Amino acid sequence: MAPTAVSRETPTRAAGTVAAAGTGAVLEEQPDAAAAAGSRGAVDAPAAGEHATVDATAAGVRAVNALLAGPERPATLTITDPRGAHALACGLDADVEVTIEGHVGYYCAGMNQRATVTVRGSAGVGVAENMMSGTVRVEGDASQSAGATAHGGLLVIEGNAGARCGISMKGVDIVVGGDIGHMSAFMGQAGRLVVLGDAGEALGDSLYEARIYVRGRVASLGADCVRKELRPEHLAELAELLAAAGFDADPAEFTRYGSARELYHFHVDNANAY
């Protein structure tokens, strides 16, 4: 039977569950040493610093996000049964750790600040869109526009990323363990994009000052994106990014790409490139 919608009233709770005050979400209390010995009891809300688990399908996205934004937010939260829900864990602005057990839909962890969000599955369009800080990790693949317009933080995609990965990136660091699709880093203004696999067509089209590192093959470069020398300082920053993302790869195997700086201002000689 499909889970029923969450009531606005405080639900009746079985032992071992937690009701998030003001949200109606039913959480599972995590066993401590006493609970492991068979002593379980109901509590009104997860105490600060504790871990809690919420079923996204039973509680609903609004209740889950309200819990994460509220004063009784747990230090760590596991979200189960997401079933591709959109906009999970969006707008976080606290040092909280969120683990989502399954696939998510559009805009997961969008506008993230400070939080650490891990998706144990794949993500739909716009994961970590407009992220400001913190860390977002996708253990599967990501659809198009991953990290779009993001200003800071670290986005790690362990699998492949679709088209327009890092579009209009403004300072974020993105590390992709597999391949990326076409038009990635389009109009990238700042930040670093690291790709351990191959890159699709028109990489870095209309690039500003974002830096791109690709280990595999590049189908084609976009307008004003050129191959550049990989100097010692680039090897050092690449090694740091790979370590932060948890990838074991040799920085010397990568090729650096950046802006030729020919499209910053209109010039009639470059008209055919616009």
67, two tokens: 């819990």
State pLDDT tens for residues 212-232.
999 999 999 999 999 999 999
Give residue 148's pLDDT band: very low, low, confident or very high (50, 70, 90). Answer: very high
- Is residue 243 exposed (0-12), middle (13-18) or buried (19+ Cβ within 10 Å)? exposed
Give residue 270's pLDDT band: very low, low, confident or very high (50, 70, 90). Answer: low
Q: How far is CA 97 from CA 18, 30, 130, 140, 176, in A?
A: 18, 15, 19, 18, 21
Please report the pLDDT score of residue 11 as a whole number.
Answer: 33
Give residue 271's pLDDT band: very low, low, confident or very high (50, 70, 90). Answer: low
Say what the pTM is. 0.82
Q: What is the DSSP letter of 46?
A: P
State pLDDT tens for residues 90-146.
999 999 999 999 999 999 999 999 999 999 999 999 999 999 999 999 999 999 999
User: Is the separation of the CB atoms in 169 and 146 below 8 Å?
Assistant: no
User: Is the separation of the CB atoms in 192 and 174 below 8 Å?
Assistant: yes
Helix boundaries (H) for 9-143:
33-36, 56-59, 61-69
Q: What is the mean pLDDT of the chain?
A: 85
For residue 2, is pLDDT > 50?
A: no
User: Is the separation of the CB atoms in 153 and 129 below 8 Å?
Assistant: no
264 versus 253: the higher-pLDDT residue is 253
Please report the pLDDT score of residue 23 as a whole number.
Answer: 43
Between strands 51-55 and 17-19, the pairing is unpaired
For residue 73, is pLDDT > 80?
A: yes
User: Is the separation of the CB atoms in 255 and 230 below 8 Å?
Assistant: yes
Other CB atoms within a 10 A radius of the CB of residue 63 amount to: 22
Give residue 199's pLDDT band: very low, low, confident or very high (50, 70, 90). Answer: very high
For residue 9, is pLDDT > 90?
A: no
Average pLDDT on 51-66 reads 96
Element (H, E) at 239: helix 232-245
In degrees and rounded to multiples of 5, residue 103 shows phi and psi of -80, 150
Average pLDDT on 14-22 reads 39
Please report the pLDDT score of residue 264 as a whole number.
Answer: 72
The region of weakest confidence among 17-31, 201-215, 226-240 is: 17-31
Give residue 266's pLDDT band: very low, low, confident or very high (50, 70, 90). Answer: low
